[in-house]
Amino acid sequence: GRACKEYMDGTEQLKLSPDKIPSLKDLSHVFNKITGWKVARVPGLIQSQNFFELLRRSVFPSTDYIRGKEELDYTPAPDLFHDIFGHMPLLTNKSFASFYQKFGEAALNAKGNNSIKLETFHWFTVEFGLINNPEGRRIYGAGVLSSLKEVQHSLSDQVEVKPFDPEKIVNQEYDVWHLQPILFAIDSFEQLEKGFDDWCKKEGLLS
């Protein structure tokens, strides 16, 4: 009742289940059929330019390491719970997958202040985004969905939720070490894709 419908649909298409760790190869086959994406195994954090280049080519880098019990609340490096259960379900959504490919392309073209703005945009959408589903406000950001405390906090009355506006998002300050007091909600992934596309073209990041 907290994750968005598009995320839940993705978990079904990927056949994610609580009793086993999914194979990256199997997940890659599913993506390739639905949205043309693939999965590449990486050992952990990779350089940002390599990350963006993979996204531009519609390839999602993922670990197959899983955090230990002592790291359930937070792990400093991405693990498969964050990569697979947090990020991958939405890559079955065509509008989100298209947006993320464009994000990689724009990030490779960005210089100076625009690089910082894109990092901020990524934070408030891919990692900490909310969406207004017909059933009510739901979560789609992987950073929220892979954090028990953020899942409980993000839909509470302790958070100020602002409407989607790329210009306001890229100028919003945030602190990675605390529960987020301000989040942004999209109305659809089509809105996310078009809004990002329009902003990038205005900044000269996409042709």
Instruction: Provide the β-strand partners of residue 185.
Output: 130, 163
Q: Kindly name the residue from 82, 98, 150, 154 that is annotated as catalytic.
A: 82
Torsion of CA 98, 131, 74, 10, to 10 degrees: -50
- Pick the catalytic residue from 146, 147, 150, 193: 146
The reply to whether 122 belongs to the active site is no
Q: At what angle do helices 189-203 and 113-122 cross, to 10 degrees?
A: 180
User: Residue 185: which H helix or E strand, with range?
Assistant: strand 182-186
Of 100, 91, 95, 109, which Cα lies nearest the Cα of 201?
A: 109
The distance from CA 117 to its chain's CA centroid, rounded to whole angstroms, is 16
The single residue of 127, 147, 150, 154 carrying the catalytic annotation is: 127
53 is catalytic: no
Q: Is 82 an active-site residue?
A: yes
| Active-site option among 6, 28, 58, 87 | 87
Mark whether 87 is an active-site residue: yes
Query: In sequence order, what DSSP letters do the residues of 10-21 get, joined into one string?
Result: HHHHTT--TTSP
Write out the catalytic residue numbers.
82, 87, 127, 146
